[in-house]
Amino acid sequence: MAAQPLTEWSNGLPDCFEDVSTCCYGFWCCPCLAGTVAGRFGENRCLLLFDVCTPAVFTACGIPLFIPPAVLSLRSAMRNRYGIKGTLCKDIVVSCFCMWCSWCQMHRELKHRKKDDVDVNMEPIPAVRRAPGHPPPAGFVSQ
């Protein structure tokens, strides 16, 4: 089976003006946006707590640098699931220095993917015709 070619993100990291609603949502309620992204991606909505608590824990231990684990993990998982170009090194840099822009980019990506899924799923499903007197397979409800 041939590997699918890698694609680019559907939007750039600083593309806030392409989808103002996402960035306004992220600006006014960043934790809400992060929870929404995690939930839509199938992860726990409280994932952001790791990013919120990590600076306090690392500072208490005397470590001045931290990488927000939730945004990094979700960003890497999203790239892998959707076949998006990038490297773990770039994910780390974006997660450390542009964390909220990264959450916004992932939110826009999920909106884009959902729109594409709806378009694909809008194709009609062909009906299966059965010969008279033959019941449907087990588990199906006859009409």
pLDDT for residue 86: 93
Total-model pTM: 0.69
Query: Which sequence spans correspond to the domains of the chain?
Result: 17-116
What the block records as the tokens of 110 is: 């999920």
Structure tokens of 89? 């090194």
What integer pLDDT is reported at residue 82 of this predicted model? Answer: 93
Chain position carrying tokens 């992204």: 37
Tell me the CA distances in angstroms from 100 to 7, 83, 141, one per residue in order: 22, 22, 48
pLDDT, residue 75, reads 94
Scanning the structure block, which residue is given the tokens 């699918």?
4
Q: What is the pLDDT along the chain (143 residues), one digit of tens a residue?
A: 556 788 999 888 877 767 666 666 555 667 778 888 999 999 988 877 777 777 777 777 777 667 788 899 999 999 999 999 999 999 999 988 888 888 889 988 998 888 766 443 444 444 455 556 655 555 545 55
Check: CB of residue 102 under 8 Å from CB of residue 79.
Answer: no
Q: How far apart are CA 93 and CA 101, in angstroms?
A: 12
Residue 96 to residue 77: CA distance in whole angstroms: 17
Token pair recorded at residue 30 = 């960043």
Greatest distance between any 2 Cα atoms in the chain: 77
In three-state secondary structure terms, 84 is: strand
23's CB contacts (< 8 A; 6+ apart) are: 16, 17, 104
Contacts of 89 (CB under 8 A, 6+ apart): none
pLDDT of residue 84: 95
